[in-house]
């Protein structure tokens, strides 16, 4: 391993290009070595700060300057790229999800664990400064035993139909962030009950999906939780995290994009984020920084393989609960 | 009916005495005529501003200066007092609940409706200025169609065991306020799923009750809702109401007791209400004002008999869901 | 003195009528006996809850049921009414100001003090729950020694010309509330420097007045203060009180009329008070309650004669500073 | 000029090292070429991402890969370094202040303007996202004509004596940020009146300085302003910017370090920044980004030479006002 962790970014789309820029400068202890994308023009454009580029993953895996790969390709490519990178002994940061399917996810994670390479899954919300602080404070015992958990997320508007058609569905693609936050803060989930509706855009019904949901969680610890999700909040991204414990409550809220209040004829008014890349700008950088720090320190990065598998398992349980109209135990869901 | 509505307050406990003081001065168009309580000392103490007092309901019902009764006696007395007052043709404001049992509630409401007297049930949260404004704005169409509803309530600490032993249980006694708020804001409920735990005080288990719960609601309109309740928030009363609609969201929050922020070594800090009589001071007055205004105007007061019955029915459905571990349709619950 | 303090309200305008309603019911330990106004129709309308009314002050002063007078007549009537009421031995609550002129104020206060009757001046902002809590906390030593003070007040819009023509000017009529708040919280003022502008409505210039000002205060304690005032805040009443001390800061802010946040396309939005009677509803009641409590307890009510005189003296110093363009010591201002 | 702006950072102290890291990665269109510091060890440590380093400014000025210098050396070195860099035709970003003395500042700015090189002064608060948004909205006319301006800044605690001894004083060193913000948002200042006290640490008196101040500003536009400053706020950095205009108000406030609220026995509590490098992390990066963007676009960077001179002139006027106890016109202050 090089003193400064050399990265190949795999996939030069919007998220890959963002990671490449961060690695070129904003992440300490790392540098951008290469960008790989079948679209060489995109790869070149993302290869900032003098990094190389190519259209072949092998070029990156055989480059001794590459210590780590950051996989930001389309989901269906993740599994084989993970296995190849693991085989080449590279440290791996992979955008979520590993795969849309639990069995494929488990297989890929087994390959990674078999190779013994460091692995981190891109549940970036764990690195949002507010979410991270809530989790830290809960673990530090600031509110005692957790009793009630709530996570809420809404996007400004529904996705385009092409995205919906290709996605693994609202629960596995979007609500999984709230599920992972729940596991992060309150521990493993025992049972799930899901309610879902198509209230925002009828196109979701066409794909057997929902756009509005309420999911209750029963944690192994005995705590109760609620996830509330929608595909439409006209005022911008609306994310809240609440943890109620025996000795107090922690809330990550106040999603205003700036610290400015505007006082006009209608009263004081704040402004929200309208694009998730703005909302999660810090989180996208900090998650990679944490990965780099863990690799340098020789610790297992987190969230890791178990989180990739278990958060998807809870999402699968929610899908089953929605379809069958009953509470579903997470252990019922097997690969 | 007298030009100024003459009231007899039945029951001179803490709430009855508060209502008596309000009627003596703070409610326009009304005056306090009498206080009735089997404990004559208590009745006398509550009979402020020169009002009469006695230990017999009949004294009040036969007094032509009494146009209306405000029933604030123990719950088990409500039903017969309601029937007697209805028989005497008095307008009736009754503290919640009418009765702990749905069948008895329905019978009392039938007596009231048979007599054709004005009737209001004391779901005071509808008159909290913030809750009332949210409901008003929803009805005015400010956020379009309602999609998600959430109500949260927590008390600073658990009730004394004597209270728990006598109460109709967490859902029928306490969560019913959130249920009524849900019906008030988002309409009738079709199906209920309840999760409950004893996390705060083991004494709740002794009485087959819970102290922490998450209840999901499926509204007739297609909207989804969540009620989150606890018997312990160390920082004071914690009540929040959120309504998410197609065109925006309304939130009643910020329960601080004063508008003061204190900036000390630990950062800025606000202060919450620790007693429900402080938190709901305005609501207790405004609900009676609304009753008086409705009687003067010849309108049916709200919340009325249907609310007394239907909110209890939803609470009963939640109890059944908790016991049977399954979603329960409200229509399954019959008197 | 009667067991329940009997009040005559002198002046049946908007404020007098409000006080009359409060005395009839909302103030404990008091009752409304009479309303006096040269306009008998107005007096009768304000005489709620069976109170008497007349057009002559003497009727009230000679009534043994009247223990106290609440003077809410036009300012120019205050002085002789104060002297008459003091002569009759009545406890006196007088709306601010005692008089527009310092010499007349001092004379009236000497008459009151000579008679030895309880006296309170209606600086109601001291009884706003948030302002009162800030003052209480400062006195309790919560922030140590006061170093910086700030009070800000703005009205939604300028007053009608008739009001401006009759008023004693922006500083003596309006900013005096902030001056009294400063003295209440941070002690006596030594020196004043005033800047003023006509930015809102040219009519103020016609009367030699200003509508926008910044006044700095040097307190006897060594602390510094700022008063910022305007006649126009389009979003409603904007009042803030900030006290910065060696050990922290106290802020009374967040003037929203309800605890509701509205989330629409422009982001979250709150709503402010647009009428001072709404903004100070509690303060108008609580100041009279405090007066009644002090009289019953045999304590001197506060704010009293010294506050009536000294707050006006600071306002006069500010007027002089504005006209002469220099810092003015308060002791330079003599009756 | 190179396609990517090559930078030499002059001065490898805390701020210089921060700028060097930003230039190495976080600033688009720029790269770090060299770090210069008489302490070669410090220079080497700050020369991240493969940048060169040396102890001689000439090495940087003669390097054709260096298009721009970022001067972060001790203030007393600024003037000759500015003149040397201007003579070498380099674009210049200089930390504030150019010099502690107005005459020296004017001379250095004349040298820069004579050379015609791009110049920016490091008033970083203009690039704080909230301050920048307030200024943008004011310029866009969102609140109409500005009537009242307020800026407040407090540090968690006083500086060490060595810093105080070497500094140009509270107004020229610290309050100058608020002065520049005032000029940025509300335009040029005509007259200044300053009040100052030593309330925090007697050491300020030893150096003829103050630690607590209130300064009023009269803007050329007719608006009024207030600057409130202290060297002690125990809860962290406390910065607020308020602009009151004819059509509304803009406020940059809510300095919490995270979006987390902690609800404990004392009520909800937020947390503030305790180090200015945390509070202004974004601003330090964004000001350099703006400089790079302006140079690439061929625009004059802002804030520029006029701001370096005029903000210091207002600070000098405040010092004179403090000493002479009278309002001072800014035009009285000449180099």
pLDDT tens digits, residue range A136-145? 999 999 999 9
Least confident stretch, B28-37, B272-281, D111-120, D202-211: B272-281
pLDDT for the residue numbered D69: 98
What percentage of chain A exceeds 90 in pLDDT?
A: 85
pLDDT of residue C48: 85
The chain A residue lying nearest C272, using CA atoms, is A267
Query: What is the Cα–Cα distance from A218 to A227, expressed in whole angstroms?
Result: 11
Q: Which residues contact C323 (CB under 8 A, 6 or more apart)?
A: none
Residues A275-283, mean pLDDT to the nearest whole number? 87
Q: Tell me: the pLDDT tens digits for B81-117?
A: 999 999 999 999 999 999 999 999 999 999 999 999 9
| Average pLDDT, integer, range B11-21 | 95
Residue D1 has pLDDT above 80, yes or no: no
d(CA C168, CA C173) in angstroms, rounded, equals 6
3-state helix, strand, coil in chain A (%, to 5): 40, 25, 35
C-alpha separations of C156 from B69, C236, D247 in Å: 43, 5, 11
Distance from CA of B230 to the nearest CA of D (A): 15
DSSP type of residue A2: -
Residues 6+ apart with CB under 8 A from D79: D98, D99, D104, D107, D108
| Average pLDDT, integer, range D118-125 | 97
Of B248, B255, B264, the CB nearest to C263: B248
A245-274 tens-digit pLDDT: 999 999 998 678 888 888 888 888 888 888
B-D Cβ pairs (cutoff 8 Å, strict)? 49
Neighbours of chain B (3+ CB pairs under 8 A): A, C, D
User: In the predicted model, what is the mean pLDDT of residues B270-284?
Assistant: 87
Residue D196's pLDDT is 98
Judge whether residue B255 has pLDDT over 90: no
Place D26 in a pLDDT band, splitting at 50, 70 and 90: confident
Cβ C271–A270 below 8 Å, yes or no? no
Gap between the Cα atoms of D278 and D267, Å rounded: 26
d(CA B88, CA B71): 14
Question: Best residue in A175, A178, A204, A244 to probe B by mutation, most B CBs within 10 Å?
Answer: A244
Mean pLDDT taken over chain A: 94
List CB contacts (< 8 A) between B148 and chain A: 212, 214, 228, 230
- Of D25, D130, D255, nearest to A25 by CB-CB distance is D25
Residue whose structure tokens are 């800047």: C195
Interface test with D, best of B157, B235, B236, B238 (most D CBs within 10 A): B235
Residue of A nearest to D32 (CA): A25
Between D147, D230, D325, which is nearest C244 by CB? Answer: D230
Q: ipTM value of the model? A: 0.94
B265 has a chain D CB within 8 A of its CB: yes
Residue B62 has pLDDT above 80, yes or no: yes
DSSP B256: B
pLDDT at C242: 97
C235 to A263: CB separation less than 8 angstroms, yes or no: yes
**Chain C interface test: which of A262, A268, A270 (most C C-beta within 10 Å):** A268
pLDDT of the residue at B270: 87
pLDDT of residue D309: 97
Q: Considering only CB atoms, which chain A residues are within 8 Å of D21?
A: 28
Question: Is any Cβ of chain D less than 8 angstroms from the Cβ of C200?
Answer: yes
Judged by CB atoms within 8 Å, which residues 234-253 of A form the interface with C?
234-236, 238
Per CB-CB distance under 8 Å, the chain A contacts of B321 are none
Give yes or no for residue D271 having a pLDDT over 90. no
Q: How far is CA D211 from CA D156, D198, D205, D276, D326, in A?
A: 12, 5, 9, 17, 19
Per-residue model confidence as pLDDT tens digits over A63-79? 999 999 999 999 999 99
The mean pLDDT value for D211-216 works out to 98
Distance, in Å, from the CA atom of A193 to the CA atom of B193, rounded to the nearest integer, reads 9
Q: What is the mean pLDDT of residues B234-250?
A: 94
For chain B, how far is it from start to end, CA to CA, in angstroms? 35
Query: Is the pLDDT at A219 greater than 90, yes or no?
Result: yes
In the structure, what pLDDT confidence band is assigned to residue D330 with cuts at 50, 70 and 90? Answer: very high
Question: What is the mean pLDDT of the segment spanning B319-327?
Answer: 96
Closest A-chain CA to B213: A224
Please give, rounded to a whole number of angstroms, the shortest distance from the CA of D26 to a CA of chain A.
5
| pLDDT, position A239 | 93
Mean pLDDT over D63-86 rounds to: 96
Residue B291 pLDDT class (50, 70, 90 cuts): very high
Contact A265 D248 (CB under 8 A): yes
Q: Is C269 on the interface with D (CB under 8 A)?
A: no
Which chain B residue has its CA at the smallest distance from D235's CA? B265
Contact A214 B216 (CB under 8 A): yes
pLDDT in tens, chain C (335 residues): 678 999 999 999 999 999 999 998 789 899 999 999 999 999 999 998 789 999 999 999 999 999 999 999 999 999 999 999 999 999 999 999 999 999 999 999 999 999 999 999 999 999 999 999 999 999 999 999 999 999 999 999 998 999 999 889 999 999 999 999 999 999 999 999 999 999 999 999 999 999 999 999 999 999 999 999 999 999 999 999 999 999 999 999 867 888 888 888 888 888 888 888 888 889 999 999 999 999 999 999 999 999 999 999 999 999 999 999 999 999 999 98
Give percent above pLDDT 70 in chain D. Answer: 99
Could you read off the pLDDT of D154-181 as tens digits, one per residue? 999 998 999 999 889 999 999 999 999 9
CA-to-CA separations, D88 to C88, C281, D74, D81, in angstroms, rounded: 90, 69, 21, 10
How far is residue D11's CA from residue D73's CA, in Å, rounded to a whole number? 4
Q: Quick check: D49 pLDDT over 80?
A: no
CA dist C45 and D32 (Å) reads: 81
- Six-digit token string for A14: 């919007």
Residues of D in Cβ contact (< 8 Å) with C147:
197, 199-200, 212, 230, 232
On whether the CB atoms of residues D44 and D67 are closer than 8 A, the answer is no
D145/C contact by beta carbon, under 8 A? yes
- Return the pLDDT at A3: 81
Q: Which domains does chain B have, with CATH numbers?
A: 5-117 (3.40.50.720), 126-282+311-332 (3.30.360.10)
Given this model, what pLDDT does residue B281 score? 87
Check if the beta carbon of residue A232 is closer than 8 Å to that of residue B246.
yes
Cis (ω within 30 of 0) for the bond into D97? yes
Verify whether the Cβ–Cβ distance B212 to A224 is below 8 Å: yes
Name which of A31, A246, A259, A261 to mutate to probe chain D: the one with the most chain D Cβ atoms within 10 A of its Cβ: A259
Tens of pLDDT, residues D292-303 = 999 999 999 999
Higher pLDDT, C258 or B30: B30
> Mean pLDDT, to the nearest integer, of D33-46?
97
Contact between chains at A259 and D249 (C-beta distance less than 8 A): no
CA distance D284 to chain B (A): 24
CB nearest to B234's CB, from D234, D265, D271? D265
Q: Are B327 and B189 in contact (CB under 8 A)?
A: no
Is there a contact between A94 and A309 (Cβ–Cβ < 8 Å)?
A: no
> pTM higher than 0.90, yes or no?
yes
CA distances to A127, C186, D185, D227 from D241, rounded to whole Å, are 30, 24, 10, 10
Q: Where are the beta strands (DSSP E) in A2-86?
A: 5-10, 30-36, 52-54, 68-71
């Amino acid at each position: 391993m090089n003193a400064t962790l050399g990265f190949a970014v795999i996939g030069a789309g919007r998220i890959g290009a963002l990671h490449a820029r961060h690695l070129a400068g904003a992440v300490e202890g790392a540098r951008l070595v290469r960008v790989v994308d079948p679209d060489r023009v995109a790869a070149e454009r993302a290869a900032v700060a003098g990094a190389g580029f190519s259209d072949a993953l092998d070029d990156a895996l055989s480059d001794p300057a590459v210590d780590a790969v950051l996989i930001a390709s389309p989901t269906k490519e993740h599994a084989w790229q993970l296995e190849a990178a693991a085989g080449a002994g590279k440290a791996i940061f992979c955008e979520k999800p590993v795969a849309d399917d639990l069995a494929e996810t488990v297989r890929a994670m087994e390959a990674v664990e078999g190779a013994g390479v460091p692995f981190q899954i891109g549940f970036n919300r764990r690195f949002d400064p507010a979410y991270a602080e809530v989790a830290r404070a809960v673990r530090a015992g600031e509110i005692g035993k957790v009793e009630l958990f709530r996570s809420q997320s809404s996007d400004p508007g529904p996705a385009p139909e092409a995205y919906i058609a290709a996605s693994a569905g609202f629960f596995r693609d979007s609500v999984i962030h709230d599920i992972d936050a729940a596991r992060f803060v309150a521990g493993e989930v025992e049972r799930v009950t899901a309610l879902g509706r198509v209230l925002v855009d009828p196109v979701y019904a066409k794909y057997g999906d929902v756009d509005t949901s309420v999911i209750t969680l029963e944690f192994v610890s005995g705590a109760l939780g609620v996830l509330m999700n929608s595909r439409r909040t006209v005022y911008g991204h609306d994310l809240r995290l609440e943890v109620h414990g025996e000795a107090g409550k922690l809330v990550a809220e106040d999603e205003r994009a700036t610290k400015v209040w505007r006082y006009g004829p209608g009263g004081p008014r704040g402004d929200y984020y309208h694009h998730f890349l703005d909302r999660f700008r810090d989180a996208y950088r900090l998650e990679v920084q944490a990965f780099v720090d863990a690799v340098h320190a020789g610790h297992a990065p987190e969230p890791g393989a178990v989180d990739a598998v278990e958060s998807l398992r809870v999402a699968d349980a929610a899908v089953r609960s929605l379809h069958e109209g009953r509470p579903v135990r997470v252990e019922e869901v097997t690969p």
